[in-house]
Amino acid sequence: MTNPQTSGLRLIWVYPDLLSTYGDQGNVLVVKRRAEQRGLHVERQDVRSDQPIPATGHIYLIGGGEDRPQRLAAERLRRDGGLTHAANNGAVIFSVCAGYQILGHEFVNDLGQREAGLGLLDVTSVRGGAERCVGDVLADVDDHLGLPQLTGFENHQGVTHLGPGVRPFARVRMGNGNGTGDGTEGAWRDRVFGTYMHGPVLARNPQIADLLLRLALGAGALSPLNDQWFDALRTERIAAATREA
């Protein structure tokens, strides 16, 4: 894979026509902006579901979607193979909600059947009970990642079980997370991440965007940015969630 510091950062937004229901496109905007503020040239590519997934991107972002579009996305991603090739090439992948389930071994589709995922994360998702997991979430991110408290908004009915090949992305203080009752939220291994958090999550937690950039660049640190507005949003959302709790 080419060096993004010399050739430019290739940012891939996967299937915006199917997996962009809950404003997760904001994640793409945040990563692109934070890279450009540090002087990087960014080539953003929105890849629709009728187009091949390039295997040469540096960062891939996948959002949430409804049940039928999720099934269609999984079918096409399996058939295409580009995202799996990108992961094998060392690309960074960050997925949300339906995208998170697709990266696992399997999930339950809109027909009530088990649908194969890509197997990029050692997780399996099933359908939960009648009640949806909806509302603000506060969670402590895995210490290995060195990130501040996670804030986001969950809206799902899935229950995602983690296998031994992944670590929980975070552990909830408030909210449901993976819905398993064990306090876990999301999952990650190496450069592949999954979470149920919308928000969009990278606008609420720009340090996660910086983590993705550091991994893609192979950099130990990034130049600091003025995060006044991000900090104000985080403070407001954390305070609002705490009051509601």
- Is 105 in the active site? no
Q: Are the C-beta atoms of residues 164 and 104 closer than 8 Å to each other?
A: no
- Is 58 in the active site? no
CA angle 121, 125, 128 (to 5 degrees): 155
Q: Between β-strands 59-62 and 92-96, what pairing exists: parallel, antiparallel or unpaired?
A: parallel
What's 52's DSSP letter?
P
Q: Residue 100 — φ and ψ, nearest 5°?
A: -60, -45
- With tokens 């609002």, the residue in question is 240
Token reading at 132: 């949806």
Cα torsion for 133, 136, 142, 146, to the nearest 10°? 160
Token reading at 175: 């909210």
Cα torsion for 66, 68, 71, 72, to the nearest 10°? -110
3-state secondary structure of 236: helix
Q: Are the C-beta atoms of residues 56 and 6 closer than 8 Å to each other?
A: no
Q: Which of 58, 105, 156, 198 is catalytic?
A: 198
Q: Which of 58, 97, 133, 156 is catalytic?
A: 97
Among all residues, which ones are annotated catalytic?
97, 198
